Each structure stands twice: as structure tokens, then as C-alpha cells.
């Protein structure tokens, strides 16, 4: 199945939260640095303000990265817009990020229910349907988003689908024979029907057997959050399709050394 979001040479390099090792996470400075390095894929998080603005912000509460307290969902946009991450950086709107770089792809992690009904409008106004992938640790949030999106959008697997892939039995050179649970073809068909195109998993899950099984189901495998060069090399040797990292300079160097660095057009 052709998926515009994934129409890029593998492996894909993702700037996790913009590249949080070099600038405050999910900040304009972080994203701008990643763009200057040539990153074609940016990863961010989405949370809603109390009055319906979708912000690039990871935590439930504001406390860790700003001098404010309490959930971002209880603050109106005018208050959130005045806050500064690490004392210097404004919190971006997801819509502004999508509009700033219309040639880049964005991996958007839906962090709360309030952001779900806001996402379709953001994608509609920016025309960004083909260059986003929607992900979440919550299967319920992914299902709710899928129902509201009125245009095909790349989606990641739910936690239950990841478990199904992990429980399948590898066999032979193909890496997958019979599967426990849903048969391979039926599960692969279900992924395709629901625009599920990739499994995004932590490093401890992305074993060689998992990667082979996911590929047999027609899924790309993106692993997070890998910040050391040895780990980057190990997962690339396992044939993962993408790596998410805070240390975007190190990942770029590793990929250049391997002849696997594929920057954005014009970079």
C-alpha cells in the first residue's frame, strides 16, 4: 500500500521533540535546528488548551518545563502562549509548525482526548493530510481520531496490535509462519484497511524477531528514543525503518558514516 507519509528512503531519521538534546524540547529552536541539519521528519506531541488550541507539548502538567503549574488542558491559549519553555521558548501551535515547513513530515503523538476533535481541523486548514502520522499510547485515542478524520492519514499500531505482532510465531526464512491469534493475512488486511502503516516501539521491543514479524505484516518499524551511537548502529543493523532520537546530531553522523543519510529536499 502506497503511503505518502512514508514515501522517503529508509531508514527514516526522526527528530524526537524536535531534537531535545540540543534545544528545549518541542520548541521552535529545536525544530529549526533539526531542519537546518536536513531532517525531513519531525516528531512532536499534541495537547489541547481549555479553549481548543492544539499545542506542541508533551506533559500533562506545565511544571517540568515551564514556571507555571497544573495541567495545560485547564489553561486558555492566551495564558499558554505567554509561557516559556526553559524560560525562553514559547510553546508552538501544531498548526503553526505544519504551516512553517510545508515540505516536512510530522509524527504527531496525541496526548489527550481534548486534542482529538481539534486535529482534523488543523490538518484541513494546513492541507497536511499526507505528511502526518498520528500516534498514541492509547488505542482508544487512535480509534477516536480515526473516526473523525475525513481523509486518509497514516496511523500507527495500537498497543494491542503491537502485542499481537509480538505474540506471532516466526518460522523459516520469511520470519513468520503461522501466527497465534489472528491469521497473518487477516491482521495485515486490517492494518491496511485502517491506514495503520507502522509500529512505533521502544528499543526493548524492537528485537530482530519483532522487526521481521512486523515487516511480514506489512508494517514499518520505528524505534524510540535512541540517543547513543551504539544503540543507533544496533537497530540499523536489525533493519528498522526509522529511529527517533533526541540527539539528532549523533544520528545524522551515524547515518552519514553508513551511507544512509537521506536529508530533506534542498538541504
Q: Which residues are catalytic?
A: 16, 58
Preceding peptide of 11 cis, ω within 30°: yes
DSSP SS3 for 3:
coil
Q: Which of 155, 102, 119, 153 is nearest to 46 (CA)?
A: 119
Q: Which of 67, 46, 65, 43 is nearest to 55 (CA)?
A: 46
Answer yes or no: are the C-beta atoms of 129 and 107 closer than 8 Å: no
CA angle 219, 14, 207 (to 5 degrees): 45
Answer yes or no: are the C-beta atoms of 211 and 238 closer than 8 Å: yes
Answer yes or no: are the C-beta atoms of 152 and 146 closer than 8 Å: no
Summary count for the chain: helices (H), strands (E): 10, 9
Amino acid at each position: 500500500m502506497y503511503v505518502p507519509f512514508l514515501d522517503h528512503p529508509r531508514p527514516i531519521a526522526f527528530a524526537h521533540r524536535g531534537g531535545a538534546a540540543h534545544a528545549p524540547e518541542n520548541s521552535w529552536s529545536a525544530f529549526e535546528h533539526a531542519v537546518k541539519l536536513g531532517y525531513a521528519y519531525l516528531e512532536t506531541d499534541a495537547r489541547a488548551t481549555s479553549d481548543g488550541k492544539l499545542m506542541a507539548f508533551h506533559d500533562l502538567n506545565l511544571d517540568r518545563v515551564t514556571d507555571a503549574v497544573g495541567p495545560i488542558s485547564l489553561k486558555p491559549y492566551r495564558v499558554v502562549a505567554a509561557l516559556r519553555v526553559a524560560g525562553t521558548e514559547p510553546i508552538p501551535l501544531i498548526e503553526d509548525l505544519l504551516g512553517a515547513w510545508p515540505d516536512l513530515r510530522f509524527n504527531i503523538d496525541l496526548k489527550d482526548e481534548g486534542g482529538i476533535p481539534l486535529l482534523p481541523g488543523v490538518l484541513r486548514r494546513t492541507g497536511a493530510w499526507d505528511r502526518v502520522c498520528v500516534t498514541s499510547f492509547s488505542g482508544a485515542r487512535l480509534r477516536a481520531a480515526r473516526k473523525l478524520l475525513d481523509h486518509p492519514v497514516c496511523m500507527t499500531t495500537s498497543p494491542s496490535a503491537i502485542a499481537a505482532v509480538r505474540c506471532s510465531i516466526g518460522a523459516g526464512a520469511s520470519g513468520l509462519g503461522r501466527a497465534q491469534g489472528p491469521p497473518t493475512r487477516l491482521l495485515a488486511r486490517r492494518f491496511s484497511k485502517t491506514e495503520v502503516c507502522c509500529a512505533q516501539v521502544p528499543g526493548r521491543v524492537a528485537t530482530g524477531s519483532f522487526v521481521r514479524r512486523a515487516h511480514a505484516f506489512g508494517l514499518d518499524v520505528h524505534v524510540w528514543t535512541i540517543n547513543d551511537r551504539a544503540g543507533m548502529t544496533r537497530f540499523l543493523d536489525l533493519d528498522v525503518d526509522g529511529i527517533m532520537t533526541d540527539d539528532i546530531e549523533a544520528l545524522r553522523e551515524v547515518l552519514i558514516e553508513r551511507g544512509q543519510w537521506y536529508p530533506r529536499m534542498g538541504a
